[in-house]
Amino acid sequence: MNGSVRGKVVVLTGASSGIGRVAAQMFARKGATVALAARDGIALEHVAELCRKLGAEAVAIPTDVREEAQVVALRDAVVARFGRIDVWVNDAAVYMMGPLERTPSEQVRALLDTNVMGVVHGAKAAIEQFRLQGDRGTLINVGSVAGKSPYAQAAAYCASKHAVHALTSALRQELVGTRIDACVVAPATVDTPLFDHASNYSGRTIKAMPPIYRPERVAAAIVRCAEHPRREVLVGMAPRVMSLMGLLVPWIWERLQPKMVASSHLGKERAPDTTGNFATPTGPHADRGGWKDGRKDGARALPEPDMTPQLT
C-alpha cells in the first residue's frame, strides 16, 4: 500500500495509552477508519470517542492480545463491520526492570506472552486476512532500540523486542512476491506512561532514560510507514547510535551501558517489587508520561483523564 491512509481500515493494538493512543488519533485526523484494541474497555472507548470527534469512524474492541482467540475475534469483528483490513499495527507491550536473577520466571513468561506472542497472534490474524484480500495489506510491528541494542536490568524486555525484530524480518522473507508489507518501527525512550505501568524488581524507582522522544514522533513514523511501507524505521538518532556502538565496540558498550542505566533509568528512591499492569490494566491512560516536560524521579504520573461519559 502506497499513498494516503484516508478511507483505509486500520487496526491498532495497545491503543488505550501512549504510542497507540496517539497513533489512533493521528490516523483519525488523516481520515482512516480505526479499530482500537486494548484490555481496558473504558479507556479504549475514550480514545475511540476522541477519534470520532476528529471526524473518523472508530470502534473500540476490548482485546487481550495474549489470547489468540480474542485476537482472531478482533480481526473477524473488524472484517464483519468494515469488510476488510488495510493496516494492522501491533503496539501492545508491557515493560519490566530488574536483574534477571531477581525477576520471577512467571513475570518473564507474562511479558513474553504480551510482547512476543501478542505480536505473533496479531501477525497471523492480519496475514490470514491479507491473503483473502488478494495478498494485499500492511503489517506494522512496534519494536524498540532494545531490540537492536540490549541493556542491563531489562533482559526480558530486550529479549522480547529482539524477537519482534527477528519475527518481522523472517515474515518479510515469507511474503516475498506478495503485496503484503511487514514493517517494524523502532523508537528509543518515548514519553509515555509505559514506565508507570511497569513491573519492577530493581529495588529503585524507574524513570525515563534520555534521550526522550515524544509519542507524536513515533506515531507519525507509524502513519508514514502505513502510507509508504519500509522494512525498518528507526525513530530518532539514539537507536542508530546505540546500534552502531553495540556493533562496533561491544566490549566498551557493555561496560558503559550498565552505568548509564543505573544513573539515568533508575531513580534514587527505593521502590518495592511490583507486578505492574501485567495481570490487570492500570492507569494512567494518557498520550504522555510527563518525562519530557521535566517530571523528576519520584514524581507522580500525569493524572488519569476524565473518562466519564458526557451527556448531551
Q: CA 79 to CA 300: how far, in whole Å?
A: 41
179-186 and 136-142 strand pairing = parallel
For residue 49, the one-letter residue type is E
Q: CA 211 to CA 85: how far, in whole Å?
A: 35
| Owner of C-alpha cell 478482533 | 74
- Residue 157 a catalytic site member: yes
Are 253 and 265 in contact by the 8 Å Cβ rule? The answer is no
Q: CA 290 to CA 260: how far, in whole Å?
A: 21
Are 7 and 33 in contact by the 8 Å Cβ rule? The answer is yes
Question: Catalytic residue among 95, 151, 157, 201, which?
Answer: 157
Q: CA 45 to CA 100: how far, in whole Å?
A: 36
For residue 65, the one-letter residue type is V
Q: CA 155 to CA 311: how far, in whole Å?
A: 47
Alpha carbon 150 to chain centroid, angstroms: 17
Q: Can you list the alpha helix ranges (DSSP code H) found in 92-236?
A: 105-112, 118-132, 155-174, 215-227
What amino acid positions are annotated as catalytic residues?
157
